Amino acid sequence: MGMDFSALMKIKGAWDTFKMNHPRFPDFLNHVKRNGVIPGTEIQISVTYPNGQNIKSTIKVKESDVQLLESLGSLGL
């Protein structure tokens, strides 16, 4: 399976724009990365739409999740 360099560059450009638009979010991610995510950690995600609708999800990190999260972190995600 080959790596699509142009797709990676497009994602990097989008990430750079996202960081400019939301400068505190990368700091948040870096804090989490420095402290690590261990089994038992809870991750909560909430999305509120312009119409006021809100959906939430909470996951409790399992041992099998840690490797995936570390891999995403090593990609800079």
Q: What would the pLDDT profile of 8-56 be if each residue is shown by its tens digit?
A: 888 889 989 999 999 999 899 889 888 888 999 999 999 999 999 999 9
Asked whether 57 and 45 are in contact (CB, 8 A), the reply is yes
Domain that holds residue 34: 5-74
In this predicted structure, what is the pLDDT of residue 77? 52
CA distance 69 to 59: 13
Are residues 37 and 61 in contact, defined by beta-carbon separation less than 8 angstroms? Answer: yes
So what's the pLDDT on residue 59?
94
Is the confidence at residue 72, as pLDDT, over 60?
A: yes
pTM for the full predicted model: 0.65
Whole-angstrom distance, CA of residue 48 vs CA of residue 68: 27
Instruction: Say what the pLDDT of residue 30 is.
Output: 87
Higher pLDDT, 9 or 77: 9
The total domain count for the chain is: 1
